[in-house]
Structure formats: C-alpha cells, structure tokens
A and B are shown apart, each in its own frame.
Chain A
Amino acid sequence: MIESRSNWSWALGGIMVLAVLPFFLSKFYLHLASTILIMALFAMSFNLILGYTGITSFGHAAFFGVGAYTFALLSIKTNWPLVLNICLAPVTGALAAFVVGYFCIRLHGILFAMLTLAFSQIFYTIAFQWYGFTGGDNGIVGLPSPAILAWDKGFYYFTAAIVSAGVVILWRLIHSPFGYTLWTIRENSLRSSFIGVEVNWHRLIVFTITGAFAGMAGVLFAMLDHQAFPNYFHWSLSTEVLIMALLGGMLTFTGPALGAMVVTLLRYWISSYTLYWMIFLSLILLIIVLFLQKGIIGTITERMKPPELRT
C-alpha cells in the first residue's frame, strides 16, 4: 500500500493536470478528454464489483443507459430543473441495479454474467423498440443545456469536478470497513461469511452502488453530445468497460481509469482509419489475457513491491 502522503501528492498532481488541460487542447481533444473522464468514472466504479468484489457483470451498460435515458427523457418531457434531472439519473441507475441485482446476486460466475447480460439486453430492446416513449433507434437528440455547459470548456470542468468527486467517494469507499468486506468476499467468500459478513447482501449493496455510478457516467455522456442512443445499453459497451478495467489492472484503484484512457484514445484514432475498431479491441483483449494478466498498472505496481508482498 502506498503511503498516504504520496497519495495526496498524486491526487493534487492529477487535479492540476485536469485544471490546466483545457489551455493546451483543441476543441476536438477537449471533447475527447471529457469522454475519457466519463469512461474513467464508469470503469473505476465498475471495478468496485469486478476487481474489488470479484463479480463479473456483462450487463453494466444497462445502468449507464438508464442514467442517460433518465436524464434525456426528463429533459425533453418535463420542465424540471436541470440539477434535479441530473441527480435523478444515478438514483434510477441504482434502482435498476438493485432490481437486476436482486434476481442475479445468488448466482455466481458465468450464470451471473449471463443473467446480467440478458437483463441489459432487455433494457436495450426497450430503448430500441419503444418508439412512442424512447424514440427507438432514432435516440433522443438535441437535449437542451444551459450556455455554460454547452460551452466546451465549461462542460469539461463540470465533468472533471463530478468525476473527481466520484473518484474521491470511490477511494473512501474501498478503504472503509465496507470496502474491506468486499475483498474478503473476493478472496474467500466462504470465510467471509464465517467472520460475520452477509455475503449476498453485501454483493447486492455494492452492485447497487456501481449502478448509481454507472448512471452518473451515463448522464455526463448524454450531456456531452446532448443526446442518448439505445447503444448506450448495448452489451458491447459492457464488454468495453470490462476490457478497460482489465487493461489498466482490475486489482488496482487507478488502473481502470488508465484503461479507459487507452481504449478511448485508440478508438478515436483507429476509427479515423478503419471501421473495424472492434478487431483492435479484441486484439487488446488478447494481449491482456496472454501477456498482461494484471493489467498495465497492476504489472507496474507489482514490480515496485518487495518480493514477499507480491501476490
């Protein structure tokens, strides 16, 4: 474990970089930076279940989509204040995660993964087919947004602030006693129950929490381009966030953020040359599984540790 003082300096450095970034980036790259931040929040919160608790979900895009659509639908169908619409999205994200989790949480491994996948595809189908309510495959476009957030730098700072707050909350969470129960469940759920942890209840709670974060990431993503589309719910986004976490290192706190950055950058660059971005995503997955099982950050931190503490 890294000393707390160096944690502070890392955090401070990170915030400073985020603060000055808009002065160096073009409009296009600032947009990209906002996207990376949103995906970083999504991937880091997703890692709460994947890396910390040891639950593999193939359906996490569902809650991202629920957040985005909650915000989008409220924005066009009501006159409610923007702040309320934003705040309700993580609530519905959590609610959706709680309901899905309630039915899945007793299952383990591949069964759990498949059931979350099935649920997320139900959400996807609803968004895709229900033209009367969701606009179907036309999505919901032209979401209103106040001038300050329509301005690219304004939105970037807004995103950076929310993502930073989210990261602080995640940090506190995983270093709390609740966070400790998560790794006991991952390491040895049998023993965990014998030291007094209600394992399934804790799994459901953490699944719900990640639903809230996914919902928040979804809102930001909808606000970024003032639109929401059914593919926000799609399983391909679920696997993408999984790959981000794996690539950066699912047993590290910051790894998934780095994974989000690498995947998002590659996607933008590769997409400008070819339509077959998915091939490269698959290649990344291959490289992780074959050569980088601990992910980028995981491999580096492992090298820095004294041998007796290597896992």
Chain B
Amino acid sequence: MSLLRVEGLKKAFGGLLAVDDVNLEIQAGEMSSIIGPNGAGKTTFFNLVTGYLSKDSGRVFFKGDDISRLSPPQICHQGIGRAFQVSNLFPRFTAFDNVQVALMMHKRMALDFFSNARKLLRPETLKILEEVGLADQAHLLSKSLAHGDQKRLDIAIALASEPELLMLDEPTAGMNPKESFKIMDLVAGIARARGMTVVFIEHDMDIVFSISERIRVMHMGRLFAAGKPEEIRENREVKQIYLGESE
C-alpha cells in the first residue's frame, strides 16, 4: 500500500489553475523529488497536502486514511512533517528551544499547564540536533544562525514530530553546490536511519538525479511525468519543457 495517495487534486487562484488534477502515489521508504519550472505548482501541491491551503477538489490519503479535510496541526500529528523554502523558525529563541518545543507538541503536551518545560525532553532534543549537525550551536538564537544552519534547523523542527513522510520544499535554496550536497546527503542518511519517506522539491538537477529514487515533473499545475531518474532523463518532452530551459 502506498504511504501517500493523491487523487484528482485541484486548486485555482483566480483564473489560474495552480494545481490541476494531480494524481500520484508515494511508496513508503521512497526518496523522491518533484521538479518543474517556477510556477509549476510544486509548493502549492505541498500546501494542499499539508492542509495549509483548502482544496478545490480531490482527496489525499495518508496510510489509507482520508486526510483531505484535516488542518495543518492535525496532519502534523498524522505523521507528515514539512520544512520550508524560506527557513520558517521561531527567530528569537535558541536552536534548542526550537526543536524542544516541536518535540513537546509532538508528544501532545500542548495543554500541559504546569510542568517545567525547560526540563522536558532534553536528551531527545539534543539527539535531533546532533542528527542534523547543530548540537554545538544549540544555545544560539535561531535567527543568528548561518543560512545553511537555519535550513538544518528547519529540518530538525520537522524531524521532531517523527514524521513518516517528510516534505522538504527546496531544502537547498540559497546554498552553494557543496553545501547543497552535504545537506541532501544528510537528509538521505537520516531517512535511511529512520525508515522515513522523503519527498523534496529541488531545482538543482545534479542533486535531483543523484539522490532521487523517483522523480515527478510538474508543469503548469499538472503532473507531467513520473519515473526513475534514467526514465526522466530520457523523456523528450521533459527535456523540452524543463531541462531544455535550464541547460
């Protein structure tokens, strides 16, 4: 059974069909990417699946359950984690606090009014910071971290909710190629270690083709092609609409 199944997903902004009848299935354990030119509807697709935007039509199933009508916090608790294109942190708090609070929410402590939060889940928090390589910067305010480290922290926050499916929206945005590969290797390693399914949006073709087990191409809101990297590489239409433009 597929982990995520999307059926007939549609979303229009005014007259523009941002996501147009997308159907896809993501298998558990898969490392896949979504590519496509700017404005193809990739981020909108993420926003629809994670409940941030309402769907015009279509349904989303996660582990067989219909999650189409759930809110972002409910979907988070179902096991879908998300990191953002522009780092989306709690800026005036330390890296440690950022992850710790996400862990608390995952453990459903949101309505615990009297425990001393500072003392909760410290080893677990540190473990996640170690996983993404931020342990030695745990005490720094998240807004004073370097750009690449902010992206790592963004991923760490998503990891705190122990997602079965991690959706990364351009995890390498704004990084140099060396950093980009480092962070994607890190993600791949964590995914293997945790048995986590990952789907990421990416523009860097070297990364896409070297890391994805499966690639989906979006173009003008539609899912244009899907397949293994070698299939996508050979697909003439994909080359025309996408690779042709960037090469």
Contacts and interface: CB of A to CB of B under 8 A. Distances in A.
B92 interface: yes
A191 B90 contact: yes
A16 B155 CA distance: 48
Contacts of A188: 88-91
B40 to A, nearest CB: 23
A193 B101 CA distance: 12
A141 interface: no
A225 B53 CA distance: 54
B111 A178 contact: yes
Nearest to B160: A195
Interface stretch (A28-36, A154-162, A196-204, A233-241): A196-204
B113 A198 contact: no
A102 interface: no
A184 B101 contact: yes
Contacts of B117: 175-177, 179-180
B203 to A, nearest CB: 23
B73 A191 contact: no
- The dominant DSSP class at the A interface is helix
B115 A195 contact: no
A183 interface: yes
Nearest to B142: A187
B73 A196 contact: yes
A191 B101 contact: no
A190 interface: yes
A180 B102 CA distance: 10
A199 B92 CA distance: 19
Given A181-B110, A311-B92, A194 B104 contact: no
Given A180-B101, A188-B91, A191-B157, A196 B77 contact: yes
B109 interface: yes
Chain A: interface residue count, which band? 20 to 34
A196 B106 contact: yes
Interface string A285-311: 000000000000000000000001101
B102 to A, nearest CB: 4
Nearest to A179: B117
A27 interface: no
A205 B101 CA distance: 18
A172 interface: yes
Given A178-B112, A198-B71, A198-B73, A308 B141 contact: yes
Contacts of A195: 73, 76, 101-102, 105-106, 157, 160-161
B89 A173 contact: no
B91 A197 contact: no
3 closest Cβ pairs, A-B complex: A177-B109, A196-B105, A187-B90
18 contacts: A176-B112, A176-B116, A176-B117, A177-B104, A178-B110, A178-B112, A180-B117, A183-B93, A184-B90, A187-B90, A187-B91, A191-B88, A195-B76, A196-B76, A196-B105, A196-B108, A308-B144, A311-B141
Given A178-B113, A196-B76, 18 more contacts: A175-B116, A176-B114, A177-B109, A178-B110, A178-B111, A179-B117, A180-B100, A181-B101, A184-B101, A188-B88, A188-B91, A194-B76, A195-B106, A195-B161, A196-B110, A197-B73, A308-B144, A309-B94
